[in-house]
């Protein structure tokens, strides 16, 4: 009986998603991410700092989907303090995963990929750091992506006639890197949930 109910539940999820899915989907837009940690394991509540514009990193969100497979590219800009000096920082996250539409009204997705931040000090050399702020030994972006711990990103959007409006949540794995490939570290650890980040995106689906 339980197996039958489980099978029916899967069918009820997959069938609407299949009917709503297009062959190719390309969306581009803007995103904002709250800089302070957001623990998704606790009850979701509004924090005082969320009303302060300076507490957000701003950037672009690009999503490409073929049927259910989706590749997301997110780039964020913010100013960070390095050695008591405010400097420029740009972070990039590239994830691959799944994305499902429900009756053309909502879309949920889950992806995994490397996230790396480049620090641009005035008069100094560009350096790469991971999501914990630790400097990487990488000499270029490709090496930095291989050394950076992978990050999970979940998205939930409303489809308003070709405009996607929704929330996203990113949380690091427990130290899994493409270079090390220790699958025991693929899922977030208990402490990683405390350091997750919540954000919002608005995208236009071009085709």
* Range ranked top by mean pLDDT from 12-26, 27-41, 88-102: 88-102
- Residue 150 CA, chain-centre distance (Å), reads 10
H helix intervals, the chain: 2-20, 141-147, 190-193
φ/ψ of residue 55, rounded to 5:
-90, 15
87 vs 69 pLDDT, higher one:
69
Q: Per-residue pLDDT tens for 110-122?
A: 999 999 888 887 7
Q: Per-residue pLDDT tens for 21-69?
A: 567 889 999 999 998 887 766 666 677 778 788 889 999 999 999 988 9
Cα–Cα distance for residue pair 132/130, rounded to 1 Å: 5
Read off the pLDDT of each residue in 66-74 and give the average, rounded to a whole number: 93
pLDDT at 4: 57
Work out the percent of the chain whose per-residue pLDDT is above 90: 40
What's the whole-model pTM score? 0.82
pLDDT at 58: 95
How is residue 5 written in tokens? 């109910």
How is residue 86 written in tokens? 């405010």
Write out the residue range of the structural domain in which residue 31 sits. 2-205
Q: What is the number of domains present in the chain?
A: 1
CATH of the domain at 39: 2.40.160.20
199 vs 120 pLDDT, higher one:
199
Place 71 in a pLDDT band, splitting at 50, 70 and 90: very high
194 vs 64 pLDDT, higher one:
64
């Amino acid at each position: 009986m339980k197996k039958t109910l489980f099978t029916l539940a899967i069918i009820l999820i997959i069938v609407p998603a299949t009917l709503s899915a297009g062959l190719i989907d390309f969306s581009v837009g803007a995103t904002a991410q709250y800089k302070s940690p957001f623990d998704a394991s606790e009850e979701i509540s509004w924090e005082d700092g969320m009303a302060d514009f300076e507490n957000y990193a701003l950037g672009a969100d690009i999503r490409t989907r073929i049927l259910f497979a989706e590749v997301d590219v997110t780039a964020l800009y913010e100013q960070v303090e390095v050695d008591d000096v405010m400097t420029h920082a740009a972070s990039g996250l590239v994830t691959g995963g799944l994305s499902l539409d429900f009756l053309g009204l909502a879309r949920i997705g889950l992806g995994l990929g490397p996230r790396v931040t480049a620090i641009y000090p005035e008069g100094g050399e560009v350096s790469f750091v991971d999501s914990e702020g630790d400097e990487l030994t990488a000499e270029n972006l490709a090496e930095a992506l291989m050394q950076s711990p992978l990050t999970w990103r979940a998205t939930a959007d409303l489809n308003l006639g070709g405009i996607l409006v929704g929330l996203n949540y990113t949380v690091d794995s427990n130290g899994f890197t493409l270079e090390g490939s220790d699958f025991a570290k693929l899922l977030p650890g208990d402490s990683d949930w405390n350091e997750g980040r919540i954000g919002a995106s608005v995208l236009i689906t071009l085709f």
